[in-house]
Every structure is written in structure tokens, then in C-alpha cells.
Structure 1
Amino acid sequence: MVTVINHPCVYGMVRLNGEISDYSVKRDRASFVFTKSDQTKLGVVAIAASLVGMGGQAMSVASSTTSMEEEADYVQFSLNGQLVKGWLWRSPFKNGDMVDVAAEWQADHYEVFGIARPSDKTISLYPHCSRAKTRHIKNAVKWWLIVSIALELGISAIFLTNGWSGVVDFWQELFAEGGWWIPVGLTVFCAIAVACMTKQWMPFVKLSERVFSALALPNPHNIDLVKSSKGRRTEQDTLEFGYMYFRY
């Protein structure tokens, strides 16, 4: 159940609304994704991220091979007299904006996990949050199929110098000599890489759904902010629009 409140001491994810004041934002570094025990997995995860089309995530993970920290915006502001602060991947908001905020009460402030500005449907969430579970899995399956097929076509293209007959002869000979495991192995490898990436980002997917529900967005379990932002860039948007902040 979503609660709309303007007073503290209510626990769980809630929705606040009002006008931003005393707004400050600082671009800083912190660890959002991995614990130290995950460091040995970073190389595989970075490959998986690139395979499933998560360019921003892939770059973040790759850079984390030497550092566990990433850049994000730490925001702090007042909303109806209540202190709100926390991490957003990129914050495009300012003083005077009328917003809805998804947050949880801490000891002396609200910890923000998502902000939406209804006037232009701009939304920013905690780092790496952008898709609900259904969309996250669909996106992973889509990229698994694309990459698997691309690898098979890439192998076939090597033999196109002899025309399509050369490609057919290659695959026929490969399967006749028991080489069927090569295309199967590539497909399985892609599946494992994509599954690894899908699982790695599941905590952010679950947090995304909680934010979408708290903000009372329609069909919160089927939201893809990356997709909904396509073609909706304005002159005021920065380069991070579409992968660090979005439109719903």
C-alpha cells in the first residue's frame, strides 16, 4: 500500500510530494553494486553487461576492476519542511520543482530512492535502477538471442568468400564431424553471461519496482524507463538522459 505523507516516523517506502527548496547536489563516488567478495567476478560481469546492451553498466563494472566506487549525484533538499537526501544516478532537478519523491524514513531524514517531476514526466532513481522485473528479463532474453545469432553469423561470414555454398558446406562438415557442440557452446556461453548479468542487477530491479509503486506509476511491474525515454530528449537534457535519468 502506497502512503502519501508529509511527516516523519512512517517506515517503509513512501511517497512525498511538494516543492523542492534548499536544493544541493554533489557529484561524488560511492560503492553501489559490489562487495569486496564480488571483485573476482567483475570481468565476467562486464562482458555480460556489454552483451545484454547495458553500456553504462558495462563501463561502470569495467572501471570497478580497480575501484569499487562509481560516480553518482548525492542530493539534499527540503520538501515541506522535511529533510530529504540520498543518491541518484543523475539529478536534473532544481529549487522550485514540484515533485513526487519515493523515500524511506531514517533516524533524522528521508532517504530518497527516486524523484519524479510530473510537469514533464522526468524521473531519476538510485544508481542502476531503470527497469521493472518483467522488462528486465525480456531485455536480457532479447539480447541473448541477438548476440547468439550475431556470433553464428559472424562465424558464417568467414566463409562467405566462397559464396553461400561455402557457408553451407562448412556447417554440414562441422556437424558431420561432431562439431555441433561449437554453436551450442557459444549459445550456452551467451546464456550464462546474460543470466549472470540479469541476476547481478536483480536487487536494483526490485528496488525499481518499489519506487515505481511508491510513485503510483501505472503498471509498475512492466516499466522500462530506457525504452520510454527514447525520442523524448529535449534541448535542456544533458548527455546522461536516457541512461542515468529518464522520462516515464
Structure 2
Amino acid sequence: MPYAKYDGTDIIYNDKEELLKKTGINITDPILPPKNLIKLTGTLSEFKGIFCNAPLFDGAYMSKEERKKQKAKVRSGAALATLSGNSTAGLAALGHGDSIHRSNYFQAQYITAKLNNDVILKGWLGFYKFNDGDHVEVIAEKHADHYEVYAMLKPSEQIISIIPPCYAGRKHALKRYHIPLLLTYILFTMGLVYFFGDFTLDNLISAYFGVGVLYLPAILILYKNSINTHVKLAEQIFSTLNWQNIRNIDLISISKMQVKKLIDEDKYSLDCKDNTNLYIRPQKSGAGWYFFYYDPEMLCKKNNEDLLAKPDNITEIDTELGENLDDKRKE
């Protein structure tokens, strides 16, 4: 069976086409962006996961028309780069079409499950292994035949598995994304001059200008796209959970702090006897396969001025009450 065994030997399929060809299982791409997230709670059953690359980054949120407009901007940057002498970078920029580029693919887990034995769940999450019988909270959007899942939480262990690459609000996500890009630009350009030319101040300035004509606008475009796509989705998920100060949330840092706390309490073993640990608990570093520890006491405190109000269209549903889902949404 192609379903994940969580033993370190599972295949990560390149895309849904390869999965269909090799296993006969047909899965859907992520539905991005969601329009109306809601919170469900209940008991999990029939949980299955498959590891697969999926279009999840900025370009996956754009329509074909929006990708064409972005391509036009890249072409303009490529032309400027070519005029400034950076023909290699200019030609490279012209290679992107208006379809979703492979750089927008992330490794994720496609899951199917039921909530309270009747609510059908599908979606893309981190590699965390949920078990039948787990009491969970689910952030999802209703569709005709299922709920599309964007995050699933196991409150008993304070673990959240979330759609990649979401993990932080804008103040922390952009630091982690774009500071390394700027450092790469600085060091890469310096290396080019050092190894392939005379390492003089004039050559260094010219190189920074030549590479920067294309590279820096690309960083600005990525910055804007990130804010409007996966960072916005992360903040919507946090807001639907009624967490506070969502722009400042960084699940990597929070998870790392929680692991340290568990180690101090002798509740987190540093021994890794087999590969199953990779899928049943967050890593000591805080980073990993997009599932994290969270601290509800810290995240639910209303003690910061920089809070975002919970959108009016967000509804909370408790399926354990046994009432009709649609009726409760109207309420």
C-alpha cells in the first residue's frame, strides 16, 4: 500500500502525476487561497497520509493571468540585467513560463480522514502522524463533498501540523526568508568578483549593480507575494484559532522553547532509536516537517497592542454536539 508507514522508508512522490502513475491513487492539488476558514473539533478516524510534493508556495496562489503579469515583470528585469552586462542572469529569468513553476513545490503530506465518523477531511499538512481516536482541532474550509484542511491540532500534546510553508506571521516569516536572500546576494556577488575578476572596489560596485538590477527587484517581488499568499494564510489560520498577536507568531521558536521545557521536565527524550520519532514529535531545533509544539497560554494572551481582530466571517464549529454543520454555520 502507498500510504505512509512513518518508519523512515516512505516514498516522497515528486507530484500527484507520479503518484497516480505508480499507485493508481488520484489526489488533488491544494485549494489556495481559502476564502472562509472555520474551526472543527472532534475525534479522528480512518486517517491516511501520503508524502508528496505539491504546489504550495507563492505562485500556487496566483491565477494564470497573475502569473503572466509576474512573468512580464521578470522579463523587464531580465532586459535591464542584460543591458547592464549580466546576460546570464537575464537569460535565466526568461525561462519561467506562466504555469506554476517547480520552485513553488514543497514536500507535504496529503491526508484523508473522517471527523466523528461522518465529516470527510482532505488536505495538505506537515508529516505528523495522527492516529485514529485522536481528539483534534481542524482548521478547514467547507466544499461540496469534503472539508479542505489547512491545519490540524492535537491539544493533548499541544502539537499543530500545518500546511507548508506556513509557520509564522509576517514579522518573523519575512526575517527568516529574506535576510538569508540578502546575505546570499552580498556573498555570491563578492565571490564572483574574487574568483573571476580583479577584486577592486570599482569592480565590486559594478558587480553589485549588475546582479542587483535583477536580484533585488526579485526579492521585493517575493516579499510582496509572500505577504499576500502563504504568510497571509498562516495569519488566517492563527486568527481562526483565536490566537493573539498573530503577526509576531513564530512556531519554530515557540516549538524550540517547548522542547527545552519538556527536556527540563524529563518529558522529552533525546534518544532517537528509530526513524519513527521524525513523525510523532517535533524536533529539538523547532524546525522540521511542518509540525510544531505550541503554547496555548502564551498564544491566547491579549497583552500586546499589535493584535489583529478575528474576521467576522470566521465561525467555530464543534461537531461533537451532533448538530447539523450547515445549521451551525448559519448561526
Query: TM-score, structure 1 length as denominator?
Result: 0.63
Structure 1 CA distance, aligned partners of 2:143 and 2:239?
Answer: 20
The partner residue of 1:73 within 79, 84, 109 is 109
Q: Unaligned regions of 5+ residues in structure 1, if any?
A: 1-10, 45-60, 160-165
Q: Quick one: distance in 2 between partners of 1:118 and 1:72?
A: 21
**Match of 1:98, as an amino acid?**
H
Contact 1:103 1:114 in 2 (8 A): yes
Match of 1:245 in 2: 290
Equivalent residue number for residue 217 of structure 2: 192
Structure 1 counterpart of 2:132: 95
1:158, CA displacement in angstroms?
A: 4.2
Query: How many residue pairs align between the two structures?
Result: 206
Q: 2:119 aligns with which of 62, 78, 83?
A: 83
- Structure 1 residue 207 displacement after superposition: 1.3
The AA in structure 1 aligned to 2:245 is N
Cα distance change, pair 99–155 in 1 and its aligned pair in 2 (3 A): same
CA contact (8 A) 1:77 1:84 kept: yes
Cα shift at 1:31: 4.5
Aligned to 2:183: 146
Question: Secondary structure of the residue that 1:120 maps to in structure 2?
Answer: coil
Q: Match of 1:192, as an amino acid?
A: P
Q: CA deviation at 1:113?
A: 1.1
| Aligned residue identity for 1:216 | N
- Structure 2 CA distance, aligned partners of 1:91 and 1:183? 40
* Identity rate, percent: 28
Q: 2-side partners of 1:206 and 1:198: how far apart?
A: 12
The answer for the alignment partner of 1:58 in structure 2 is none
- For 1:101, what is the secondary structure of its paired residue? strand
Q: Which residue of 2 aligns with 1:49?
A: none
Q: Is the 8 A contact 1:76 1:83 kept in 2?
A: no
Q: Deviations over 1:52-91 (max 9, x none)?
A: xxxxxxxxx9xx7579976643322232354141222334
* 1:14 maps onto 2:38 in alignment: yes
Alignment of structure 1 residues 25-36 onto 2, 5 Å: 25-27=49-51, 31-32=55-56, 33=60
1:180 aligns to what SS in structure 2?
Answer: helix
Moved more, 223-232 or 199-208: 223-232
Q: 1:84 to 1:211 in 2, by over 3 A?
A: farther
Higher mean C-alpha deviation, range 123-132 or range 109-118? 123-132
Residues 136 and 198 of structure 1 are in contact (CA less than 8 Å); yes or no, is this contact kept in structure 2?
no
In the alignment, the residues of structure 2 paired with residue 141 and residue 71 of structure 1 have an alpha-carbon distance, to the nearest angstrom, of 21
In structure 2, list runs of 5 or more residues that go unmatched.
Answer: 1-34, 75-95, 260-267, 295-331
User: Letter of the aligned partner of 1:208 in structure 2?
Assistant: A
Helix, strand or coil: the match of 1:25?
A: strand
Q: Does 1:105 align with 2:142?
A: yes
Q: Show CA shifts across 1:91-144 (max 9, x none).
A: 421212222211122234322111122233322222432232222333344123
Specify the alignment match of 2:167 in structure 1.
Answer: 130
